[in-house]
């Protein structure tokens, strides 16, 4: 997604003197619930769940054109892929999520630039 925006969309925007777009990607893994509000085809659909909340918060703390992942996603990666990420450090006011199993601070990792 980042490559498409940087190499495909932004050059077109630059041609017309529009500001460039940036992309922030935050990911986590877990169970969610899909809810439809109403009963007809036009009723809105939403995805609810703990990992959706965590992913949204991760995204808000991620820099432009960066990818950040929660420790559950990081734990699923092959060691060669894990090496491409570094742990993000947050102050107590920035991040309050806890690992549901260990009750320790839930770690977040961001992709190292150039990897």
CB 72 within 8 A of CB 31: no
Looking up residue 68, the CATH number of its domain turns out to be 3.30.70.1230
What letter does residue 82 receive in the DSSP assignment? H
Domain count, the chain: 1
What is d(CA 52, CA 37) in angstroms, rounded to the nearest whole number?
18
Indicate whether 114 pLDDT > 70: no
For residue 47, give its domain range. Answer: 25-111
Give 86's pLDDT tier (boundaries 50, 70, 90): very high
Residue 13 lies in a domain: no
pTM for this one?
0.84
Q: What mean pLDDT is predicted for residues 6-23?
A: 96
Residue 5 lies in a domain: no
What is d(CA 49, CA 33) in angstroms, rounded to the nearest whole number?
6
Averaged pLDDT of the chain: 93
Residue 9 lies in a domain: no
Residue 15 pLDDT: 97
Task: Tell me the Ramachandran region of residue 49: left when phi exceeds 0, alpha when psi lies from -120 to 50, beta otherwise.
Answer: left
Indicate whether 64 pLDDT > 80: yes
């Amino acid at each position: 997604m980042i490559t498409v925006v940087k190499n495909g969309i932004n050059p077109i925007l630059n041609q017309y003197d529009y500001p460039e777009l940036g992309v922030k990607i935050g990911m986590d893994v877990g169970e969610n619930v899909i809810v439809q509000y109403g009963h007809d085809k036009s009723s809105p659909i939403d995805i609810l769940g703990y990992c959706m909340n965590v992913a949204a918060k991760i995204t808000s703390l991620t820099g432009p054109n960066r990818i950040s992942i929660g420790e559950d996603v990081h734990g699923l990666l092959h060691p060669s892929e894990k090496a491409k990420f570094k742990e993000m450090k947050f102050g107590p006011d920035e991040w309050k999520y806890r690992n549901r199993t260990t009750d320790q601070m839930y770690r977040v990792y961001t992709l190292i630039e150039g990897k």
